[in-house]
Chains A and B, each alone.
Chain A
Amino acid sequence: MYTKIPTVVNSGKNIPDLNIVHAERIKQYKDNNMLISYDKYLGDYPEIKASNYVTEAWNIGDLDGKRYSLPLDIHTFQMYYNKDLVKKYAPKALDDNIVTFDEIQAAGEAAKKDKITGLGVTWFKPNFLSLYAQYGGKLTKNGTDVTLDNADGKKTLEKYVAMYKSGITSRDGQDPAQLFQSGKEIFYPEGIWMQNQVKAAKFEWGMINAPQLSSDLSKAVNWSSSHQFVMFKSKDRDAAKTKAIMKFIAWVRTHSQEWAKSGQNPASLAIKDDAAYKKMGQSFLINTPEEQATMKIFDYKYNGFVADSLDKHVGDAIFGKVSIEKTLQTMQKEVQGKIDKDQANKK
C-alpha cells in the first residue's frame, strides 16, 4: 500500500477519503505536502482531544502546531510468557510486573538442563530499538542524520550477543514462535497483535513488558507504533464527506471494542472503562498512566531506512556471524547513505 499511496495522491484520482497509515509515515507525508490538517474540523468535536487518547499516540499527529492525524490504536512489542515455566524457573520474576534481562538470564540458566529456552530471539527491529532507547540511545541528534554506530548501539548488541553465547536464547535457525507454542520457551517477546496465534498454545500464558534493564517502571521502554487516520489532499472530498469522516472518527473513539478484540490497544482512553477489555491481556499497557508512558513510538523521519537495516544486519551480529563493530558500521553507512540521497533530492 505504501508504494501506491504517493502515485495515487500525485495522480489526483481515486484518492481514498480516509486512510489509516502507520505513525512513522506521517512526517514524510506532511513534508511532501500530501496531508490535510484536521484543525478546521475539530471545533465541532470537542471530545477528540489530547486527554481522551494515549499521549504517545496523540502526539504523533501534531506537527508544527497543526494536527495531521488522529490515532486509532497504539500497538506495542511486549513479551509473552509461559506461566508454568515461569513458576518453575523464575518464580519471582513477575513480582514487580517487569522482567529484567538479568532475571531472564537466571531463568534461562536454570532451565538449560531441561532443554528449555529462556528467551526467544524474535523480531530484531523492536528488540534492538527498545533496548537502545533504554541505554539512552537516540536515532538522530539533529533530526536528519542517523546515529546508530555509538556506545549505546554497541551495548545493545553486546547484551544480545552475550545472552546468545551463554546458550539461554533460541538458536540461529530456530523458530522462537514454534518453541514457545510447543511449551519449550519461557519468554517470547512479540507484538500484542500476535495474541490470536499465541491463543492456540495448550498452556497458560500471560503478557508483560518487553525485557528491561531496570525494574524501575519509569525507566521502561516498550517499542510501539500506531495506526493513524489521515486525509490525503483530494479535490473529491467535499464538505459532506469530511463531516462524515469526522463523525466516524468520533464514533470509533467510543466504539473500539472490536478493534481491541483483534488484540490491539485502542488509542482512545474510553476503552479503559470497558469490562471485557480489562480482561484482555494487552490492557496492562493502557490501564495506568505509568504503563502508558513506557510505550515509545520511534517517529524519526528516516525510521524506514533504520528498520530495513536493523532487520537485515542485527541477526548477523547476535548469531556471531559478523562482529558488533562491523555490524554497527555497516548499518550506519547504509542508512546515512540513503539519507544523503534523499536529502540531495530535496535540494
Chain B
Amino acid sequence: MDAQVEKNNIKHVKKDRHLTPWLFVAPHLIIFAIFFLIPVIFGIYISFTNWDLMGSPKFIGLANYKELLFDNSSVFYEQLRTGLKNTFLFVVISVPFCIIVPLLMALALNVKPKLGKFFQALFYLPSLFAISAVVIIWNLMFNVAYGPINNIFHLKTVWTGTQPYAWIAIVVVTIWWTIGGNMIIYQAALNGISKDYYEAAEIDGATPTQQFFKITLPSIRSQILYTVVMTTIAQFNIYGQPLMLTNGGPDSSTSVLLMYIQQNAFGSGQSIAGIASAMAIILGICIMIVSAIQFVFLRDNSR
C-alpha cells in the first residue's frame, strides 16, 4: 500500500517537473507566438498570394518571387534591387561606426574621468527618444538656411537632398541615436576585465595599443560578436531615418527596402500585400544569411 502511494507521489512530482518549465517560459512563449511566430507564418503564406487586404488572398505559388527575382520588366524587380542595394550600403557604412564609436566612448568612460556618470547619461539619452523626435531635431540641425551645421561651418550644403551628404546625414543621425545601447554593453564588459592582466602586461613592457589589442579586445569578444550581429540586424531594418530625412531621395538613392515594403503594403493606394510580403521574406533571408556569416566568421576568429 505504502509503496503504491509513494509511486503515485513520484509520478505526481515528475508530472509537475514536466509542467514547471513550461509555466516559466509560458508568458514569453505566448507573446512570442502571438506577436512573432503567427505573423511570420502568415507573412510567409501571404508572400505566395495576391492580396489587397480587402478580399481574400489568392494563392499564386512562387509567382511573386519569380517576378521579384527574374522579371526585369517589373517595377517591383527594380524596387527590390534598389531597396536591397541601398539597405546593404547603409549597413556596410553604418555598422562599423555603430560598433567603434560606442567602443571608444566606453573606453573613455572606463578610465573613470571626472563627470563620467554625467557623460554616460548624456551619451545614452538619445537611445530613449523616438525616431520621429530624433529626425525632427536633426532636420533642424541640417537645415540649409537656419541649421547650425551650415552656419557654423559657413556651408550651403543641402544635406538631405544631395549625395553623398544625404547618406552622411542618415549615418550621423543613426550613430547619434544608437550609441547608448552598445556603449552600455561595452562598459559592462570592460569593467569585468581583471586589472591583473594590465599590470602584468605593463611589467612586460606592453604599450597601451598592445594592451588594447592583446587584452581588451579578446576579453570582450563575446560582447563584440553579440553587438555586431544585433547591430547589423537592427540596421537592416532601417526605415525612419531615410523616410523622414530624405524621403528616399535624391533619385531614390536612399530608398531602402523597408520603405518599398511599407509603401506597397500600406501606401496611399490599394495594398499590394503579396509582393510586399515576398520582399520582406527576401529581406529576412538576407539578414539571416549575413548574421550567420558574421557569427561563423567572428566565432572562428575568436578561438
| Contacts from A to B (Cβ < 8 Å) | 2-3, 6-7, 10, 28, 32, 34, 171-175, 178, 302-308, 311-312, 315-316, 319, 321-322, 333-334, 336-338, 341-342, 344-345
Contacts of B247 in A (CB 8 A): 311-312, 315
Is B146's CB under 8 angstroms from A178's CB?
yes
Q: What A residues does B270 contact at CB under 8 A? A: 28, 302, 304-305, 338, 342
- Do the beta carbons of B143 and A173 come within 8 Å of each other? yes
DSSP majority for the A interface? helix
Quote the shortest CB–CB distance from A207 to chain B (angstroms): 25
Q: Indicate whether B3 reaches chain A with its CB closer than 8 angstroms.
A: no
Q: Which of B75, B160, B264 has the most CB of A within 10 A?
A: B75
- The residue that B272 contacts in the complex, of A28, A319, A342, with Cβ under 8 A, is A342
- Shortest C-beta distance, A279 to chain B (Å), equals 34
Residue B176 at the chain A interface, CB threshold 8 Å: no
User: Is A333 in contact with B75, judged by CB distance below 8 angstroms?
Assistant: yes
**Chain B residues close to A by CB (< 8 Å):** 50-55, 58, 74-76, 143-146, 158-162, 247-252, 255, 263-264, 266-272, 275
Closest B residue, CB atoms, query A179? B145
Q: A175-B143, A307-B268, A344-B50 are in contact. Are A338 and B75 (CB under 8 A)?
A: yes
B50 touches which one: A28, A322, A341 (CB < 8 A)? A341
Whether the pair A345, B269 counts as a contact (CB closer than 8 A) is: no
Q: How far is the CB of A39 from chain B (nearest CB, A)?
A: 23
Q: Give the Cβ gap from B9 to chain A, nearest Cβ, in Å.
A: 48
The answer to whether B250 touches A321 (Cβ under 8 A) is yes
CB contact between A337 and one of B74, B263, B266 (< 8 Å): that residue: B74
Q: How far is the CA of A3 from the CA of B273 in the complex (A)?
A: 11
Check A173–B146 contact: CB distance below 8 A: no
| Nearest-Cβ distance from residue B215 to partner chain A, whole angstroms | 48
Contact partner of A34 (CB less than 8 A), chosen from B54, B161, B267, is B54
Q: Are A173 and B267 in contact (CB under 8 A)?
A: no
Q: For residue B268, which residues in chain A have a CB less than 8 angstroms away from its CB? A: 2, 303-305, 307-308
**Does A307 contact B269, Cβ atoms closer than 8 Å?**
yes
Q: Which of B53, B58, B266 has the most CB of A within 10 A?
A: B53
Residues of chain B contacted by A322 (CB below 8 angstroms): 250-251
Cβ-defined partner of A316 (8 Å) among B52, B249, B275: B249
The reply to whether B275 and A341 form a contact with Cβ atoms under 8 Å apart is yes
